[in-house]
Structure 1
Amino acid sequence: MEFTAGGRLEVRISPSDVGKRVSVRRLSDPGAGQEKFTDTVGVLTSWNEGVLLITRRTGETVRIPESSLVAGKVVPAAPARRRGPAAGFEELAGVMARAWQPVESEALGAWTLRAAGGFTRRANSVLPLGDPGMPLDDALAHARGWYEARNLPAYVQVATGAEGTQEQLCAALEERGWRREVTAEVRIGALAPVADLETGTGTEGVRLSRSPGEPWLRRYQRVGVPGPHVLHVLGSGPSVWFASLPGEGDDVPAAIGRCVVDGRWAGFMAVEVDPASRRQGLGTAVMAALARRALEEGASAAWLQVEADNGGALALYEGMGFATHHLYHHFRSPDPGT
């Protein structure tokens, strides 16, 4: 990381740069006999009373005393992508929301409050794509009341790590005691290479349908007995396809998957494989079959979501050509009285 300008370290940021992506170097242990420096890159989310808050792409907020700064500068809003389709955050956020729709929703300015009987945080959280039309504390209070009326915890889904994402809201929620529970990566890639993936299993045995069917649901691990709210969410989207790869019997498939085609995008979800049949290419076969159908419908780009601590899935998707676009986090409201 290069900070020098004519051989000198310079602090070239100020409180007027709040909201911009910055890179700073600070003295990490001012009392030590030997100087030690720490570098931080992220969005400058506040600069008040001699303390900077910088939110990294991971959603973590770092507090930095102004007195410890030795260098700082504004850097490009997002790193240049080396592969994959070009995509803005707002476009992707809209595509992902249409692929996993709640049972009920309410607009709060540019925010959307979503509920689906508690089935997944994605369908039971606030999607804050803009200004709620009122002060933040009032908007959060309204959201808490809305979810309380439905006997649900209040969550806000916040994105970080790309141009136009919501680092400032992320920091504001942390300051108000909201707790980050889950972080997921949104990965994107070209669709054709997924369709061309070769597996030992092949894609000939993969069955595609417009509805999940009882065998598909028996393999799906997110719920026990799915109610109407689960079927609503699974069936939502512009063009929804379900894939099943039969096992030894027809009662439970060896592998399943779901794909939603929306314009140029194909989103992959619910890819699950029988634990006894893993590492045989079954999940890859399901994705390849879904990708071929999506290509027939005119899609050219692919996206998926994977939890940030799922190392096996991250490695698999990396090998398929998927690169991280941004991250999103679900923040849960603090308990009443805390």
Structure 2
Amino acid sequence: MLRQQDVGHRVVVRRIVGVTGDRTLFTDALGELVDLTETELTIATAKGTVRVPLREVHRAKRVPAARRPHAASVIALEHAADEAWPAPVRARLGGWILRAADNWTGRANSALAVGDPDRTLEAAIDAVGKWYRERGQRPLINAPMPLAAPVNAALDQRGWASRPLTLVQTAPLAPLLAGPARTDLPPVDLADSAGDDWYAMVAEHKGTLPASALSILNGVPEKVFAHVRDTDGELLAVARGAVTGPDRWLGVSLLQTAPAARRRGLGQHVVRALAQWAAQRDAGRAYLQVEERNAPAVALYGRLGFTTHHTYLTREAPV
């Protein structure tokens, strides 16, 4: 059976799915073990994330890694994403980055655990806890998998909780730009600054925007705010794009559509516009971050050609 030290590694799980006569039926799942609790295990497979109750597990074991992203590529992408979402309060712990932004979004209020923290792992976790508690915040650690598997294992032993699994997905820009543009939809207006209605739509999803949120959203030299409005000027969809990192990544974030305007292709329409903007700035690939449990968004991004590069867990210190 699998153990906590197997989290972050490639595994195969044989699952009992039923019985026909005197014959037990099985199915196999192969992928990265991203979570293991007392009642179920979670595997990130090529077709998506699978949760398996432990009572249905017939056999499970770790297997050799295959096509695992190189540590350097995970670190580079995480640093590009951090640059695109710049927390206003920052500190270094060796290679780790400590970030705070008035608790607006987990990304901007967690320690990014990539690289060498310049001390033992136990001492690094203690230092993270002290830094956040001095600021009146609950300590959070962003642990990219499989790179930070040892970090996750240490946090498990300390009783740190896990927020929902996040998929870091990537796609080349070329397929996003392929095919004819939609002429039956309102145009996408790309602006250097966001309108009041843009902020209002984002606030409906992300909560009240403090000053630190405005600092994050506007603190990147190469960023753009997408607005789609109907003929009456009502906002239908929004998104933010940012190009960062030496590899010129396009980061797509805050893609939202008004409830009455959904299922019209506006999401793809906006992403295509952002891809055109980024291609003009020498970007070649795009990334986004989406919770694995957000099935509609994951399905949309899959249709656009996004695949999971790696995953991460945001870990919360015990209260």
Q: Same fold (TM over 0.5)?
A: yes
Asked if residue 113 in structure 1 is aligned to residue 98 in structure 2, the reply is yes
Secondary structure at the residue paired with 1:271? strand
Secondary structure at the residue paired with 1:292? helix
Task: Flag the 1:308–1:235 CA change in 2: closer, same or farther, 3 A.
Answer: same
Identify the residue that residue 48 of structure 1 maps to in structure 2: none
The one-letter code matched in structure 2 to 1:78 is R
1:137 CA drift (Å): 2.5
RMSD: 3.7
Identify the residue that residue 261 of structure 1 maps to in structure 2: 243
1:19 CA drift (Å): 10
Identify the residue that residue 226 of structure 2 maps to in structure 1: 243
Task: Flag the 1:190–1:97 CA change in 2: closer, same or farther, 3 A.
Answer: same
The one-letter code matched in structure 1 to 2:196 is E
The one-letter code matched in structure 2 to 1:294 is A
**2 CA distance for matches of 1:57 and 1:306?**
14
Task: Flag the 1:278–1:203 CA change in 2: closer, same or farther, 3 A.
Answer: closer
When normalised by structure 1's length, the TM-score is 0.74
Asked if residue 272 in structure 1 is aligned to residue 256 in structure 2, the reply is yes
**1 CA distance for matches of 2:165 and 2:6?**
24
1:292 CA drift (Å): 0.6
Question: Among residues 312, 315, 325, which one is paired with 2:299 in the alignment?
Answer: 315
Asked if residue 88 in structure 1 is aligned to residue 73 in structure 2, the reply is yes
1:25 CA drift (Å): 7.9
The one-letter code matched in structure 2 to 1:121 is G
Which of the two has higher C-alpha Rg? 1
Question: Among residues 181, 204, 210, which one is paired with 1:227 in the alignment?
Answer: 210
Asked if residue 150 in structure 1 is aligned to residue 135 in structure 2, the reply is yes
Secondary structure at the residue paired with 2:129? helix
Secondary structure at the residue paired with 1:139? helix
The one-letter code matched in structure 2 to 1:234 is L
**1 CA distance for matches of 2:295 and 2:8?**
31
**1 CA distance for matches of 2:318 and 2:257?**
36
Task: Flag the 1:279–1:93 CA change in 2: closer, same or farther, 3 A.
Answer: same
Post-superposition Cα deviations, 1:107-135, rounded to whole Å, max 9, x if no partner, equal 01111110011100000000011221222
Residue pair 1:206, 1:286 contacting (<8 A) in 2 also = yes
Residue pair 2:8, 2:145 contacting (<8 A) in 1 also = no
Secondary structure at the residue paired with 1:148? helix
Asked if residue 127 in structure 1 is aligned to residue 98 in structure 2, the reply is no
Task: Flag the 1:21–1:205 CA change in 2: closer, same or farther, 3 A.
Answer: closer
Residue pair 2:75, 2:115 contacting (<8 A) in 1 also = no
The one-letter code matched in structure 1 to 2:250 is A
Residue pair 2:69, 2:310 contacting (<8 A) in 1 also = no
**2 CA distance for matches of 1:208 and 1:216?**
12
The one-letter code matched in structure 2 to 1:105 is R
**2 CA distance for matches of 1:311 and 1:140?**
33
**1 CA distance for matches of 2:82 and 2:313?**
14
Question: Among residues 311, 324, 330, which one is paired with 2:314 in the alignment?
Answer: 330
The one-letter code matched in structure 1 to 2:238 is I
When normalised by structure 2's length, the TM-score is 0.78
Identify the residue that residue 199 of structure 2 maps to in structure 1: 217
Count of matched residue positions in the alignment of Structure 1 and Structure 2: 292
Q: Which runs of 5+ in 2 are unaligned?
A: 17-22, 34-40
Asked if residue 75 in structure 1 is aligned to residue 64 in structure 2, the reply is yes
Task: Flag the 1:72–1:209 CA change in 2: closer, same or farther, 3 A.
Answer: closer
1:141 CA drift (Å): 2.0
Residue pair 1:110, 1:130 contacting (<8 A) in 2 also = yes
**1 CA distance for matches of 2:6 and 2:296?**
37
1:203 CA drift (Å): 6.7
The one-letter code matched in structure 2 to 1:169 is V
Residue pair 1:153, 1:333 contacting (<8 A) in 2 also = yes
**1 CA distance for matches of 2:305 and 2:312?**
20
Post-superposition Cα deviations, 1:251-291, rounded to whole Å, max 9, x if no partner, equal x5110011111243211111100001100111221111111
- Which one has a larger percent helix, Structure 1 or Structure 2? 2
Task: Flag the 1:202–1:39 CA change in 2: closer, same or farther, 3 A.
Answer: closer
Question: Among residues 164, 167, 174, which one is paired with 2:156 in the alignment?
Answer: 174
Identical aligned pairs, as a percentage? 32
Residue pair 2:168, 2:310 contacting (<8 A) in 1 also = yes
Secondary structure at the residue paired with 2:170? strand
**2 CA distance for matches of 1:150 and 1:189?**
37
Residue pair 1:55, 1:171 contacting (<8 A) in 2 also = no
**1 CA distance for matches of 2:160 and 2:249?**
33
